[in-house]
Amino acid sequence: MTDLRIAGIGMTSARTRDRLVQRLRDQGIVNPAVLERIRNVPRHIFVDEALGSRAYEDTALPIGFGQTISQPYIVARMTEALLDGGPLARVLEIGTGCGYQSAVLSPLVTTLFTIERIAPLMERARERLKELGMRNVRFRHGDGSVGWKAHGPFDGILVAAAPLSVPAAWLQQLKPGGRLIVPVGPEGEQQLVRFTQKDQRLEKQNLGPVAFVPLLGGTG
């Protein structure tokens, strides 16, 4: 991948990215590290070339296999919610997708473990992150609903698909003080929720309405 391809031109240029970051500020994103990641990650390389000119619109876009790349505001909101409360060492991401959320989060944590049920998406994401020089990401093709027990417990878990209810495995794989960011509920009624393990109890905070693809078990 050429430097020019990563840097972008025209509708994928730095000026276009700056406008996106300003829109996110206007919508309430305040964490400077998160805003900087949104500015620096070349979102256009994570979508089909035909959609490149729309990469810095604040909207979800199709990536194939019935999946989407989340809108930048949602990626920023979830990342900010995950990081709120202090730095994180070991983080689990459920639903790698095209790898855009992974690319935003990777430099903000020590090690990122990410699971994707659709093998071609995972391989595409692996290649993109490798080309961007991100070496702290561990990939797994598998069923995200069961987590990744072998590498837990985790300081944080971030989920990019919506279960009807939160799988017990995720909560069991959170460290004390750990944070789980997850959209929960049926289509049209989903809420973004942050769960925090505190003093042997689970604290729940509603972060507002969202729209995600449903969480599916198994592998594709």
Q: DSSP assignment, residue 1?
A: -
Longest CA–CA span in the chain (Å) reads 52
The H-assigned helical ranges of 89-218 are 100-105, 119-131, 168-172
Measured CA to CA, the distance from residue 120 to residue 122 in angstroms comes to 5
Measured CA to CA, the distance from residue 173 to residue 167 in angstroms comes to 11
What order of strands is seen across the sheet that includes strand 109-116? 137-141, 109-116, 88-94, 154-159, 174-184, 191-198, 201-209
Measured CA to CA, the distance from residue 161 to residue 53 in angstroms comes to 26
Choice among 13, 53, 70, 165 that is catalytic: 70
Measured CA to CA, the distance from residue 159 to residue 25 in angstroms comes to 23
145 carries an active-site annotation: no
Say which residue the tokens 């878990």 belong to.
157
Measured CA to CA, the distance from residue 148 to residue 153 in angstroms comes to 9
Do the Cβ atoms of 133 and 159 come closer than 8 Å? no
Question: Which residues are marked as active site?
Answer: 70
